[in-house]
C-alpha cells in the first residue's frame, strides 16, 4: 500500500483566476455548440442554407417527428463542425504556442476569429458557413 503524498500547494489568486478562465472557455464553447444546434432548426436558417429540408418541414404534417424532417448529413456535419474544429485547433495550440510564444499565438487566434466571423456573416452557402466555423475555433 502506498503512502499518501502531501502537497504544499495553496489556492492563490492566480490559481483561482486560471480556473475561472478555463471554466469560462468551456462555458463559451458549450454555449456556441448549443446555439449552433438551435439555429439549425430555425426557419430563416433552413430557408437560406437548406431549402430542401425547409420544404420538407413545411410539407409534412404534424405527425412526422423532427428526426425525420432533419435527416440531412450536411446539416449534421454543420452542427458537428464546432466540435471537429475544436478538436483540430487544440491539436495545433500547443505547438504554435511553443514555437511562437503566448502573445503571438493569442494574436493568431484573434485574427482567425475575425476571419471566421467575417466569413460566417458573409456566407452565401452552407460550405462557406462550415469553413467559417473552422476559423472561429
123 belongs to a structural domain: yes
120 belongs to a structural domain: yes
Closest CA to 65 of 52, 76, 56, 55: 56
Q: Is the pLDDT of residue 23 over 90?
A: yes
- Mean pLDDT value of segment 16-40: 86
50 belongs to a structural domain: no
Give the pLDDT of residue 61: 59
∠ CA 50-73-37, rounded to 5°: 70
Domain containing residue 107: 13-39+72-136
Domains identified in the chain, total number:
1
110 belongs to a structural domain: yes
pTM listed for this prediction: 0.67
Closest CA to 136 of 103, 110, 106: 110
Give the pLDDT of residue 56: 79
Phi-psi region of 17 (alpha: psi -120 to 50; beta: other; left: phi over 0): alpha
3 belongs to a structural domain: no
Give the pLDDT of residue 5: 81
Q: What is the pLDDT of residues 48-76, one digit of tens each?
A: 988 888 887 777 555 555 555 667 788 88
User: How many whole angstroms separate alpha carbon 61 and alpha carbon 104?
Assistant: 54
Amino acid at each position: 500500500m502506498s503512502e499518501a503524498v502531501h502537497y504544499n500547494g495553496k489556492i492563490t489568486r492566480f490559481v483561482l483566476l486560471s480556473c475561472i478562465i478555463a471554466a469560462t472557455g468551456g462555458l463559451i464553447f458549450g454555449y456556441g455548440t448549443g446555439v449552433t444546434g438551435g439555429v439549425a432548426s430555425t426557419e430563416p436558417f433552413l430557408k437560406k442554407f437548406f431549402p430542401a429540408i425547409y420544404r420538407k418541414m413545411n410539407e409534412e404534417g404534424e405527425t412526422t417527428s423532427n428526426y425525420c424532417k432533419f435527416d440531412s448529413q450536411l446539416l449534421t456535419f454543420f452542427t458537428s463542425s464546432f466540435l471537429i474544429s475544436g478538436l483540430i485547433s487544440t491539436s495545433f495550440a500547443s505547438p504554435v504556442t511553443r514555437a511562437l510564444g503566448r502573445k503571438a499565438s493569442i494574436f493568431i487566434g484573434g485574427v482567425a476569429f475575425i476571419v471566421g466571423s467575417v466569413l460566417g456573416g458573409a456566407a452565401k452557402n452552407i460550405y462557406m458557413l462550415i469553413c467559417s466555423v473552422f476559423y472561429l475555433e
